[in-house]
Amino acid sequence: MTSLFDRRRTPARSDLAAAHLEGLVPAQKYVTGRPMRVIDEAIGLRAQPVQDCPLDTQILHGEEIIVYDMEEGWAWGQIVSDGYVGYMPADSLHDTPMTPTHHVHVTRTFLYSVPNMKTPAIAALPMGAQVEIRQVKGDFAQVTSGLFIWAAHLSPAGSHRTDYVATAENFIGVPYLWGGKTSLGLDCSGLVQIALQSAGTNAPRDTDMMQAELGKEVQDGESLRRGDLVFWKGHVGLLQDQHRLLHANGHHMQVVSEDFSQARARIAEKSFGEIVAIRRL
């Protein structure tokens, strides 16, 4: 058996691995996972079960996780949508059956205890959060928790937008946050993943995965288009047109739209070097 695997998307540790990996990766024990869903607004997934470990990514409300282990307040499992594996707070998960009927299509929307916008908000859900609607009361929809959400901020499950760049443009000005995927903060690949998911593309999480798995290479001499993905080693952005680049970046510490040629020169000189690929979906 080989021990060579990408830990980011392989539910395997030296002591424990998913049952379907038996015979493929070495582990002391193999277990069948337990489906659960995120009940908080968004939670962090980390490589190690410690709070000061950097975020690998975030998991949004309603997303499904396959949990393989729980210990000392941490769950270890795999995100169903993009396959990412890691540790997350166990008390943010629940195994009550839920079939999402809608998802949030605005950058952030509030939850209320009653269908009245003048009452204090209880929580807020980010774009991409999944909910199951029980009933509709006027302009509000009641979700399985019993709370109410503005119905116009929801779209039916399975519905998609066509212009993923327009989705990403909604996040201009949002702070840069390593591992983030919400309007409170996101990183370069988090921005691209959320945007592509809004258009029905189940994109992987990290830049190297995106470069390897998304679209086709734009050849030298081809005209660039809106929506092309521009890759550096460790960074990715979206073209709004031939001349504008949209990306979450550490130089501005936020999501910005800037002149592509100027950004390209700065990045080459000060951070990620030259562009390594441009890919088109």
Residue 179 maps to which CATH number? 3.90.1720.10
Query: Does 252 map to a domain?
Result: yes
Kindly give the parts of the chain with pLDDT less than 70: 1-4
Domain of residue 64, CATH code:
2.30.30.40
- Per DSSP bridges, beta strands 85-89 and 277-280 are unpaired
81 in the same domain as 23 = yes
Query: Does 5 map to a domain?
Result: no
Domain holding 87, by residue range, is 17-94
Residue ending a domain, among 119, 136, 156, is: 156
The rounded distance, in Å, linking the Cα atoms of 44 and 273 is 29
Query: Does 4 map to a domain?
Result: no
Name the DSSP class of 50: S
Domain count, the chain: 3
* Beta strand segments in 95-201, E: 102-104, 108-112, 121-126, 130-131, 133-137, 140-143, 148-150, 154-156, 181-182, 185-186
Residue ending a domain, among 120, 135, 156, is: 156
Whole-angstrom CA distances from 68 to 10, 114, 144, 197, 270 are 12, 37, 25, 26, 42
261 in the same domain as 184 = yes
Q: In what order do the strands lie in the sheet with 133-137?
A: 121-126, 108-112, 148-150, 140-143, 133-137
Residue ending a domain, among 46, 62, 94, is: 94
Evaluate the CA torsion angle 178, 179, 180, 181 in order and state its sign: positive
Query: Does 37 map to a domain?
Result: yes
Longest alpha-carbon distance in the chain: 60
Query: Does 251 map to a domain?
Result: yes
Query: Does 7 map to a domain?
Result: no
170 in the same domain as 274 = yes
74 in the same domain as 174 = no
Give the pLDDT of residue 5: 85
